[in-house]
Amino acid sequence: MERSAVESWVNGYLRAWRSPGTDKLADMFTPDVTYRLSPWQQPHRGLDALAKVWEDEREGPDEAFTFTSEVVAVDGATAVIRAEVEYLRPGRKTWRDLWVVRFADDGRCESFEEWPFSPGQADGH
């Protein structure tokens, strides 16, 4: 996987998140995708489970937030992406995440694992 292809995939992910419904997920993820919202969580498996997660996690396609990302590393079919999301509605958090994404041969994600951190979160010290 090339860095530019990973950057393109992240842009597609953001477009899918900001689009109504979940029809675009099949363009971004394999039918048997595993998707973890934290490294400690059991994975959600398949597009139907992923669609439910997306609908449960977001307010809707016009949810107000800013998003920046940087591809940190690419090794074969696996990429690590640093993402920062600031939700603009009162009471919502800012998150800095690491995404560990493994891609299938066709460029869609087959495994997604998120490592989310928010300000004030226990840092283990």
Q: 47-59, pLDDT tens digit by residue?
A: 999 999 999 888 7
**Tokens of residue 63, six digits:** 């949810």
- Domain assignment present for 95: yes
98: confidence class by pLDDT, cuts 50, 70, 90: very high
Q: Is the pLDDT of residue 125 over 70?
A: no
Predicted local distance difference test score (pLDDT) of residue 88: 81
Predicted local distance difference test score (pLDDT) of residue 122: 62
Predicted local distance difference test score (pLDDT) of residue 44: 96
**Tokens of residue 18, six digits:** 């900001």
- Domain assignment present for 51: yes
Q: Please answer whether residues 49 and 31 qualify as being in contact, where contact means their C-beta atoms are separated by less than 8 angstroms.
A: no
CATH number, domain of 11, equals: 3.10.450.50
> Side by side, which strands form the sheet with 94-103?
44-45, 29-36, 109-117, 94-103, 78-87, 65-75
Q: Is the pLDDT of residue 21 over 80?
A: yes
- Domain assignment present for 78: yes
- Domain assignment present for 124: no
- Work out whether the CA dihedral 94, 96, 102, 105 comes out positive or negative: positive
- Domain assignment present for 29: yes
Q: Measured between alpha carbons, how far is 84 from 75 in angstroms, rounded to an integer? A: 22
- Domain assignment present for 65: yes
Domains contained in the chain, number: 1
Q: Measured between alpha carbons, how far is 63 from 65 in angstroms, rounded to an integer? A: 6
- Domain assignment present for 92: yes
The whole domain housing 69 covers 3-117
- Work out whether the CA dihedral 35, 62, 93, 11 comes out positive or negative: positive
- Domain assignment present for 7: yes
Percentage above 90 pLDDT, the chain: 68
